[in-house]
Amino acid sequence: MTDCNCIFCKIAAGEIPSRTIRETEEFRVVLDVAPATKGHALILPKNHYRNLLDLPQEMAQKAMVLAKETALSMKESLGCDGINLVQNNEEAAGQTVFHFHLHVIPRYEKDEQKIVWTPREFSREEMDEIADKLKR
């Protein structure tokens, strides 16, 4: 289940060279070509899924386990001081490559990177309504 026009399908399949730091039957973990920090990695499923919204449950679980293992190895081998997991879904959320990927970004004191948003205010009524809509 791959998409012949998808660059991450080709990278995950090993058809395009990448700096692979970990590989399983279902995933390849590679260094991001334009890293935010030293060691910035991407967890890529070998099968093509557009993003989290169509990623099977079991693959989502496995991706998180791989993220944890990758984070631990970044801490051990690169001595990073923290780690961000970032995962963008659809253009509105900043997704630029439409094949699921999970960013694992090692963070260093004074690395001068920022992963930020501006906090917004909602009224109590709005917050109650949002919570009601999302409640399962």
The owner of tokens 């260094």 is 31
Q: Which is nearer to Zn ion, 1 or 131 (CB)?
A: 1
Give the nearest residue (CB) to Zn ion: 6
Q: Which of 95, 108, 111, 113 binds ligand AMP (CB under 6 A)?
A: 95
Q: Which is nearer to Zn ion, 99 or 107 (CB)?
A: 99
Q: Between 4 and 43, how does the x/- string for binding to ligand AMP read (CB under 6 A)?
A: ---x---x------x-----------x-xxx-------x-
Q: Which is nearer to ligand AMP, 42 or 74 (CB)?
A: 42
The DSSP line for the chain is ---TT-HHHHHHHTSS---EEEE-SSEEEEE-SS-SSTT-EEEEESS--SSGGGS-HHHHHHHHHHHHHHHHHHHHHH--SEEEEE---SGGGT--S-S--EEEEEE-TT-------------HHHHHHHHHHH--
Is 103 a catalytic site residue? Answer: no
Which amino acid is located at 2 in the chain? T
Q: Which of 64, 88, 108, 111 binds ligand AMP (CB under 6 A)?
A: 88
Which residues in this chain contact ligand AMP in the complex, by CB under 6 A? 7, 11, 18, 30, 32-34, 42, 88, 94-97
Residues designated catalytic? 101
